[in-house]
Structure 1
């Protein structure tokens, strides 16, 4: 579980991050990142999108748990006010934690280069 101060809770924030943020993907995930300059005092926040295309409920929850553990480790490196939406692709169902972590970190590095 992510602490509530690290969760994106409103659909408006999800929509804003996906539409206005930078996007990069890998084989198992797509990251949408919005570096917000408006709210510099808030902590980085993250939201997950794990659709039925990934698998049944057990598989989706397992993927969500792995992604939450990965993003929890990245929060210290993100600037305040950053919004991240991680969208799991169907390949995430068969990926282990190391593969997911590699794809998330690689996508985040691509976004930072831009």
Structure 2
């Protein structure tokens, strides 16, 4: 994803966390902050409980790929953070997409429900 689609700074992460709007399933936690902007922005957080750096980066790549697939369905007016929970490292890319779609639907970020 382009740099403009990312939440990168600590201050931006804290703004989303302090909004306290979150939804979760077994694999992901999603924090949402609605705001007026041209396109959505996403931050990805994968903690050390997931595994070593190689494993964490592989999980981030799978999440980015899933988000890129869902890009056209995501509401433009929000910043959101995706936090991976332990166990996500064992999922295939298709399973990550399915679980992430479910979590985004719970958070009401997707425009069109795919269920």
Is the shorter-chain TM-score for this pair beyond 0.5, marking a shared fold? yes
Q: Which residue of 1 aligns with 2:76?
A: 80
**Structure 2 residue 30 is the aligned partner of structure 1 residue 31:** yes
Residue aligning to 2:113: none
Contact conserved, 1:22 with 1:33, CA < 8 A, in 2? yes
Give 1:29 shift: 1.2
Q: Which structure shows the bigger proportion of residues in helix conformation?
A: 1
Residue among 82, 88, 104 paired with 2:100? 104
Q: Residue 14 of structure 1 aligns with which residue?
A: 13
Distance 2:69 2:80 in 1: 14
Runs of 4+ in 1 over 2 A off after TM superposition: 78-81
Alignment check: 8 A CA contact 1:23 1:31 kept: yes
Unaligned runs of 5+ residues in structure 2 are: 110-115
Distance 1:15 1:80 in 2: 20
Q: How many residue pairs end up in the alignment?
A: 109
Aligned to 2:108, the other structure's residue is in SS state: helix
Unaligned runs of 5+ in 1: none
Q: Deviations over 1:83-106 (max 9, x none)?
A: 110001111111111221111111
